[in-house]
């Protein structure tokens, strides 16, 4: 499985990468993004199975991002 981490706080992204045993869970962290626009671009490139996403971000918030994701992939799991 592949995942991307979406949050405007670099420390949050770094902490999620570092303190979760992704490999032990069988998940590859295939990318990061700092806002919804960047996240959507990364999503289209990577096509992850899971997205860990902040709600409040600049440029495009997590809800708008999730709505765009649902237009092209109804199976992706989005965790806010």
**Per-residue pLDDT of the chain in tens (80 residues, 90 and over written 9):** 999 999 999 999 999 999 999 999 999 999 999 999 999 999 999 999 999 999 999 999 999 999 999 999 999 999 99
The whole-angstrom distance between residue 66's C-alpha and the CA centroid of its chain comes to 10
The DSSP bridge partners found for residue 13 are: none
Q: Which two tokens stand for residue 58?
A: 């600049």
Residue 71 to residue 66: CA distance in whole angstroms: 9
**pLDDT score of 44:** 97
* 2 contacts: CB under 8 Å, gap ≥ 6: 27, 28, 29, 30, 46, 47, 48, 49, 50
DSSP 27: -
**pLDDT score of 80:** 96
**pLDDT score of 37:** 97
Domains of the chain: residue spans and CATH: 2-79 (3.40.50.2300)
Average pLDDT, the chain: 97
């Amino acid at each position: 499985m592949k995942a991307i981490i979406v949050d405007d706080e670099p420390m949050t992204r770094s902490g999620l990468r570092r303190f979760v045993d992704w490999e032990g869970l069988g998940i590859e962290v295939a990318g990061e993004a700092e806002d919804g626009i960047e996240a959507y671009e990364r999503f289209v490139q990577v096509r992850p199975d899971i997205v860990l996403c902040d709600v409040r971000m600049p440029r495009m918030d997590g809800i708008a991002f999730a709505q765009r994701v649902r237009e092209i992939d109804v199976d992706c799991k989005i965790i806010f």
